[in-house]
Amino acid sequence: MLRLCGFAGSNYHNKVKLALIEKQVPFEEVSQYPTQDPAVLAESPMGKLPYLRTSDGTIAESQVILDYLEDAFPAHPLYPSSPFARARNRELIAILELHLELVVRRLYGEAFFGGTAAEDVKVEVERLLIRGLKALGRRTDFAAFVAGDSFTAADCVAIVHLPMVSMATKAVLGRDLLAEGLPAAKDYLKRLSTRESVQRIAADRKAASPEFAAYVARRAKR
């Protein structure tokens, strides 16, 4: 049985969990919060979450895990069949992660963990997010799913990362850059929120919120 190690409040954890649910691959979850504990570093070299325990060993990095799942469990594919469409799917994922999530992450300290982001960081993040959102809008209109008419890996990524753009920019910049830059994405998130897999993620995140609050409190004391 595969074991997904991480926590329900993590967007990267939920990306992999969505893929497992959508692919109908059985798995169990093991609750793990960020740490540099040697036992965790032995399983996830950077101590990043999530990581996947398989019968062959552990795998870290959510995108690597998604690609492993696609290779190991080809039934219920999450990528299109043509090489070009697969590349375009991964291009969407790269935009979502490199040019949106990794950028907005610089605001999480202030948005969620009681920290303060420097003014120059806020200015830079806003500039880069506007650019990243424009790039995403050049590749999808969110008419149905992110990459066309069916649910794909790019949806597993968009569903978990795009709300972070909204939440963190609202909290730190006082404006929802997602709503301003890509209003169709807000409608898409609302539509997809009724999907069974997405509802399960949301319910699990809610159920784990006291555990997450305890982690945030521990983190603030460090």
Ligand X SMILES: N[C@@H](CCC(=O)N[C@@H](CS)C(=O)NCC(=O)O)C(=O)O
Which is nearer to ligand X, 3 or 134 (by Cβ)? 3
- Give me the least distance between CB of 65 and ligand X, in Å please: 7
Phi and psi angles of residue 181, each rounded to the nearest 5 degrees, phi first: -90, -35
Q: What share of the chain is helix, strand, coil (3-state, %, to 5)?
A: 65, 10, 30
Which is nearer to ligand X, 45 or 74 (by Cβ)? 45
Please name the amino acid found at residue 41. Answer: L
Residue 33 near residue 215, CB atoms below 8 Å: yes
CB atoms within 10 A of CB 70: 17
- Give me the least distance between CB of 61 and ligand X, in Å please: 5
Q: Where are the alpha helices (DSSP H) in 42-139?
A: 62-72, 83-96, 102-104, 108-112, 119-139
Which is nearer to ligand X, 93 or 173 (by Cβ)? 93
SS3 46: coil
- Give me the least distance between CB of 218 and ligand X, in Å please: 13
Which is nearer to ligand X, 34 or 163 (by Cβ)? 34
Q: Which residues bind ligand X (CB under 6 A)?
A: 10-12, 34, 47-49, 61-63
Which is nearer to ligand X, 10 or 197 (by Cβ)? 10
Which is nearer to ligand X, 11 or 169 (by Cβ)? 11
- Give me the least distance between CB of 144 and ligand X, in Å please: 26
- Give me the least distance between CB of 12 and ligand X, in Å please: 4
SS3 174: coil
Which is nearer to ligand X, 67 or 148 (by Cβ)? 67
Burial letters for 26-63: b for 16+ Cβ neighbours within 10 Å, e otherwise?
ebebeebbeeeeeebeebbeebebbbbbeeeebbbbbb
C-alpha angle 152-153-157 in degrees, rounded to nearest 5: 120
Helices and strands (H and E) in the chain: how many = 12, 4
- Give me the least distance between CB of 35 and ligand X, in Å please: 8
- Give me the least distance between CB of 14 and ligand X, in Å please: 9
